[in-house]
Amino acid sequence: MTNHWVDIKNADVVLIMGGNAAEAHPCGFKWVTEAKAHNKAKLVVVDPRFTRSASVADLYAPIRTGTDIVFLGGLISHLLATDAIQREYVVNYTDLSFIVKDEFAFTDGIYSGYDAAKRSYDKSSWDYAVGDDGYVLTDPTLQHPRCVYNLLKAHYARYTIEMVERVCGTPRDKIRQVWDLIASTATPDRAMTIMYALGWTQHSIGSQMIRTGAMVQLLLGNIGVSGGGMNALRGHSNIQGLTDLGLMSNLLPGYMTLPGEKEQDFDAYIAARAQKPLRPNQLSYWQNYRKFFVSFMKAWWGDAATAENNWAFDYLPKLDKQYDMLQAYELMNQGRMNGYICQGFNPLAAAPNKAKLVASFSKLKYLVVMDPLATETSEFWKNYGALNDVDTASIQTEVFRLPTTCFAEENGSLTNSSRWLQWHWKGAEPPGEARSDIEIMSGLYQRLRAMYQRDGGAFPDPIVNLAWNYARPDSPDPEELAREYSGKALRDLPDPKDPAKLVRKAGEQLAGFAELRDDGSTSSGCWIFCGAWGPSGNLMARRDNSDPTGIGQTIHWAWAWPANRRVLYNRASCDPRGRPWNPARKLVAWNGSTWGGADVPDYKADEDPVNGMGPFIMNPEGVARFFARGGLADGPFPEHYEPFETPLAANPLNPGQPQALNNPAARVFEQDRAAFGTSSEFPHVATTYRLTEHFHYWTKHVHLNASVQPEQFVEIGAALADELGIGNGSRVRVSSRRGHIEAVAMVTRRIKPLLIEGKPVHTVGVPLHWGFLGVAKPGYLANTLTPFVGDANTNTPEFKSFLVKVEKA
Amino acid sequence: MTDLSRRRFLKLTGTTLAGSSLGLLGFSPAPAVAEVRQFKLARASETRNTCPYCSVACGILMYGLGDRAKNAQPSIFHIEGDPDHPVNRGTLCPKGAGLVDFIHSESRLQYPQYRAPGSDSWQRISWDEALDRIAKRMKADRDANFVTRTDDGLTVNRWLTTGMLAASASSNEVGYLTHKVARSLGLLAFDNQARV
């Protein structure tokens, strides 16, 4: 979230699209009802299903799954055509006035630089034009034909309201009503928040759907303001924290990135990330990358990280390509992986195409599962009849299953979608011999280190030199680890302005990332968390819920990254002279000498606004980007491509170009392409979803939840049920090219057929919570059905749009 | 007499509970009835935590048996929303309302287990045996397949034949340490639920 849960109460319009907060995030959705009740806010829901969020909305618009870019692209076109944009905001705070290189082009749905064989782009033409002074050329009048404003306008001119109706199936009057309501927030005194979740991420064009939403918000001046923002609701309790800490194939903590294998030179690695400003007097905060990186390497490798060895740069593995989950299972299925460790993760249920997963896991030599619960993954080798019909004796994988503690049995912090790190406390001992993951990882590490010290082996240095100065090496305290990722001074730190004074004494915790240095004198395992455990102690454990300004900031409750800031980009809540756009919802302001207010300013604290520093300080431009440059794999502007399994024969936006039917930059493995179905064989569009009574695959192990929602079902609209002769409560078989499930049919009026390109398209809802283990009635894993393909940028699987066939069981 | 618990009160009065016997006992049951909830939790230990399910991160209060004395085994028997929490203000959703059943789920794993190649069942093993054997398999695989340099001489120091998934419902402290260990081994096929 750019903003936070309580801040939703300040919105004038709430758009829920690609999510269903009323059911998936009920206690957060309360702030939507608060906005409706006390701020006269209007709620708009755009969704293929009439969800419970939709049931309390002021406006509901149905949409075919996977077509959100068309709906929002049409909106962008509408906002530009009617000039319903916050002009002073976009001219000063975005790249609309920037000039783009002449080489950049877009033809028939394909951007310049496309290599069809590699399914990827050479992105060198996707950039701004630079002048002799080294800065990007701009035209603040927005007249230049190559300025981002005019390119944007031309790009979305193709997204007409007729096109939206044809592709999305949304009735025209609904489209108009939604667009008009959203456009009403273009004035400085009105704000709209966008709330989205996996209904946007789980598409082969998911990243670009989210970007389209962000572009709408920028045009309306709704980023950085109270009641505004792009708010990812996020799934698990610490999915934000684990991403922040870099537990992804290509990341390091704090959104630093692993080097690619071509990046052999340390200084070049840093220089590529410590980007210089693209416009005069911009902060470009990533210029401090070296400080973040060196402090991180000191936290991990201590005295072994020195200036002489480039702070142990070669201890880090280097990438030749992405090794995301889908890539890992592809390698596994090819017999190129031997071991796999699943810590609190049930990929047999959570990844696409169960048949491929079973085949992949069966080729492993060893599988290790750490979990509080008995997961399907840990028993993938066991035959559960039709639900998991495997030949146990032929599966040669060794499986180790290790019991772990759960939340109630440990101290620690979780980072929620508001970016708040909240500390929690242990209330009970774990059952049986269960151990914390900290103890298990430490136990494995201690054994590996001892073997490498004793026997040697492949490149032992990063293992034997890993800093492990914990009081109990077999089981470090969470408190010790929190102090480590927050950071401390390794030596006395003299004040740069007055060397006679000290900023911090050796060993003292740091107050924030501004104190980090690049000479090895500071350590911080995750720079954006720096200060969470500061000189005064554990700020994550704070419990002061006072809200002095009344706009829900509670900045003394827990601690938020970065720097305890609650609303990101909050400098943009003021006009270029530093006065709040909306004084009734003031976050920060310039008082003539400093910035301050209800939030921690997202800006240089003493920067006079007349000097023109932009509010988007992490970007070298200082402003927000409509034109993504080379930031995304599939284009600088979001373009609609059909899902990989689509009911349409051609992309209505680019009908003459077959390469532009699906995302041309998405990675597809050959075997998986062969497992895609067509609409002639699988005529119904399916989308997975969550129920309010269940959480993923955990709560089928929980009595209360298993009682209230015991049996697997699929949701089918009344029109389709009539057509197929399926009665409410009867059993149906739902199959895709990859497998089938059987479940109870819930026939509803919540899903209606949509008229797409003149033909009715039926949507089927597949709730995902059942499996062959637990106390709920056994069921099929929903991902038996889903296709093995992901977003071009994130490789998040396309769970929200695929083709099935529904029939009587 | 004023400390009489509800249970003891009912026991004392038994089936003869009637106006006359109340008078004989010399007090009115009204205060006891009005304070049923307090009695339920009065001797419980209270622990503050956050809901482990979705990312709203509602504050919760966990009530456990015992007074945290060394020889008392605590066990959580009730969980409710934390009324001081600025986001959930004491409320919980149908998922959070069932949390106490998650802690005590019959699916909770109790001890390390091992499934041999081709076998159709688990066997119980000790922690030392489990960790020793896993560490040995990891080292054997890493030593056999670790790539120090590519064919064209690039230093890459990566281990691609073992992968790992981390848990996005685990704490920051677990995640931090897990990353530290995994990357020091050279793992690249390493993800968490943010990928899906």
For the domain that residue A752 is a member of, what is the CATH number? Answer: 2.40.40.20
In a domain, residue A134? The reply is: yes
Rounded to 5 degrees, what are φ and ψ at A369? -120, 125
Q: Is the peptide bond before A548 cis (omega within 30 degrees of 0)?
A: no
Residue A478: what pLDDT?
Answer: 98
Give the residue from chain B lying closest to A547, CA to CA. Answer: B86
B-proximal residues of A, 536-595, CB under 8 Å: 543, 545, 547, 552, 554, 557
The partner residue sitting opposite A796, judged by closest CB among B57, B163, B195, is B195
pLDDT classification of B72: cutoffs 50, 70, 90: confident
**A positions 234-263 inside 8 Å of B (CB):** 234-249, 252-253, 258, 261-262
Question: Tens digit of pLDDT for each residue in A210-264?
Answer: 999 999 999 999 999 999 999 999 999 999 999 999 999 999 999 999 999 999 9
Residue A502 has pLDDT above 50, yes or no: yes
Orientation angle between helical segments A437-455 and B172-184, nearest 10 degrees: 20
3-state class (DSSP) for residue A763:
strand
In 10 A of CB A521, how many CB atoms?
A: 18
pLDDT exceeds 50 at position B2: no
Is the pLDDT at B22 greater than 60? The verdict is: no
pLDDT at B28 over 70: no
> How far, CA to CA in Å, does B113 sit from each of A345, A371, A403, A475, A639?
17, 12, 9, 21, 50
Based on the fold, state whether residues A190 and A281 are members of the same structural domain. Answer: no
Contact call for residues A691 and A26 (beta carbons, < 8 A): no
pLDDT of res. A186: 98
Return phi, psi of residue A754, to 5°. -110, 145
Q: Are B112 and A443 a contacting pair at CB < 8 A?
A: no
Residues B43-108, CATH architecture:
2-Layer Sandwich (3.30)
Residue A648 falls inside a structural domain: no
Query: CA of A9: how far to CAs of A23, A41, A218, A221, A492, in Å?
Result: 18, 8, 20, 18, 45
Check whether B48 has a pLDDT greater than 60: yes
Query: CB–CB of B188 and A317 under 8 A?
Result: yes
A425 neighbourhood in chain B, CB within 8 Å: 47-49
CB contacts, 8 Å: A328 with chain B: 163, 189, 191
Residue A224 lies in a domain: yes
**pLDDT value at A379 more than 70:** yes
pLDDT of A503 > 50? The answer is: yes
Whether A201 and A241 map to the same domain: the answer is: no
Distance from CA of B71 to the nearest CA of A (A): 12
**Among residues B114, B51, B113, which one has the least CA distance to residue A408?**
B51
Residue A107, Cα to own-chain centre: how many angstroms? 29
**pLDDT, average across residues B132-137:** 98
Please tell me if residue A470 touches chain B, with a CB cutoff of 8 Å: no
Q: What mean pLDDT comes out for the span B109-114?
A: 98
Does residue A96 sit within a domain? Answer: yes
Q: Is the domain of A307 the same as that of A220? A: no
Residue pair B86/A560 in contact by the 8 Å Cβ criterion: no
Residue written as token pair 């992949």: A360
Domain residue extents for chain B: 1-42, 43-108, 146-195
Instruction: Look up the ipTM and state it.
Output: 0.98
Q: Are A29 and A173 in a shared domain?
A: yes
Q: What's the pLDDT band for B31 if we cut at 50, 70, 90?
A: low
Confidence bin at A52 (pLDDT 50/70/90) = very high
Is 80 exceeded by the pLDDT of residue B38?
no
Residue B36 has pLDDT above 90, yes or no: no
Contacts of B137 in chain A (CB under 8 A): 339, 365-366, 398
Residue A253 lies in a domain: yes
pLDDT at B27 over 80: no
Task: Kindly tell me if the per-residue pLDDT of B94 is higher than 80.
Answer: yes
| Residue A266 shares a structural domain with residue A209 | no
Q: Are residues A202 and A254 in the same domain?
A: no
- Contact (Cβ atoms closer than 8 angstroms) between residue B161 and residue A337: yes
Comparing alpha-carbon positions, the chain A residue that sits nearest to B88 is A27
Taking the C-alpha atoms of A688, A692, A696 and A701 in order, what is their torsion angle to the nearest 10 degrees?
A: -130
Backbone angles phi, psi at A385, to 5 degrees: 60, -140
**Does A426 lie in the same domain as A305?**
yes
* Confidence band of B12 (pLDDT split at 50, 70, 90): very low
More confident residue, B30 or A365: A365
- Of the two residues B73 and A524, the one the predictor is more confident about is A524
Q: Residue B150 pLDDT more than 60?
A: yes
Whether A611 shows a pLDDT value over 50: the answer reads: yes
End-to-end CA distance of chain A: 43
Number of alpha helices (DSSP H) and beta strands (DSSP E) in chain A: 22, 33
Closest-CA residue of chain A to B86: A545
At B65 the pLDDT is 86
Q: Which two tokens stand for residue A88?
A: 């002073």
Whether residue A548 lies inside any domain: the answer is: yes
Q: How far is A68 from chain B (nearest CA, A)?
A: 19
Average pLDDT, chain B: 86
Q: What is the pLDDT of residue B10?
A: 42
Chain A residues closer than 8 Å to B66 by CB: none
Tokens of A723: 């057509």
Model confidence band, residue A161 (pLDDT cutoffs 50, 70, 90) = very high
Q: What is the mean pLDDT of chain A?
A: 98
Decide if A695 and B143 are in contact by the 8 Å CB cutoff.
no
Chain A contacts in chain B segment 30-89 (CB below 8 A): 45, 47-59, 62, 64, 73-76, 81, 84-89
- Residue A407 and residue B103: Cα distance in Å, rounded? 9
* For residue A372, pLDDT beyond 60: yes
Please tell me if residue A631 touches chain B, with a CB cutoff of 8 Å: no
pLDDT of residue B17: 40
CA-based angle A23:A26:A30, to the nearest 5? 130
pLDDT of residue B26: 46
Q: What pLDDT is attached to residue A599? A: 98
B24: pLDDT confidence band, cut at 50, 70 and 90? very low
Are A218 and A262 part of one and the same domain?
Answer: no
- Residue A208 gets the label, from left (phi > 0), alpha (psi -120 to 50) or beta, of alpha
Q: Spell out a b/e string for A710-746, using b for 16 or more CB atoms within 10 Å of the CB, else e.
A: eebbbbbbbebbeebebeeeeebebbbbbbbbbbbbb
Does A474 map to a domain?
A: yes
Q: How many CA atoms lie within 13 A of A16 on its CB side?
A: 33
A-B Cβ pairs (cutoff 8 Å, strict): 474
Q: Is A212 helix (H, G, I), strand (E, B) or coil?
A: helix
CATH of the domain at A108: 3.40.228.10
A718 Cβ partners below 8 Å, 6+ apart? A747, A748, A749
Q: Is A33 on the interface with B (CB under 8 A)?
A: no
Residue A51 CB burial class (10 angstroms; 0-12, 13-18, ≥19):
buried
Same domain, A282 and A204: no
Residue A357 lies in a domain: no
Tokens representing A754? 């949509």
Same domain for A254 and A181: no
Question: Domain containing A222: what range?
Answer: 6-235+622-631
Identify the residue with better confidence: A456 or B25: A456
Residues A241 and A229 in one domain: no
B3 pLDDT tier (thresholds 50, 70, 90): very low
Q: Which residues of chain B from 146 to 165 reach within 8 Å of chain A, CB to CB? A: 146, 148, 150, 154-165
pLDDT computed for residue B43 by the predictor = 81
HSE, CB side, 13 Å, CA atoms: give it for residue A458.
19
Q: How many CB atoms lie within 10 A of CB A180?
A: 13
d(CA A392, CA A395): 5
Percent of chain B whose predicted confidence (pLDDT) is above 70: 80
- Of the candidates B17, B185, B170, B120, which has an alpha carbon nearest to the alpha carbon of residue A300? B185
> In this complex, do A395 and B117 lie within 8 Å of one another by their Cβ atoms?
yes
| Binary contact (B154, A340; C-beta < 8 A) | no
**Number of domains composing chain A:** 3
Q: Is the pTM of this model over 0.90?
A: yes
Mean pLDDT of A345-363: 98
Same domain, A78 and A164: yes
pLDDT of residue B19: 41
Tokens at residue A67, please?
């077509």
- pLDDT at position B35 is 55
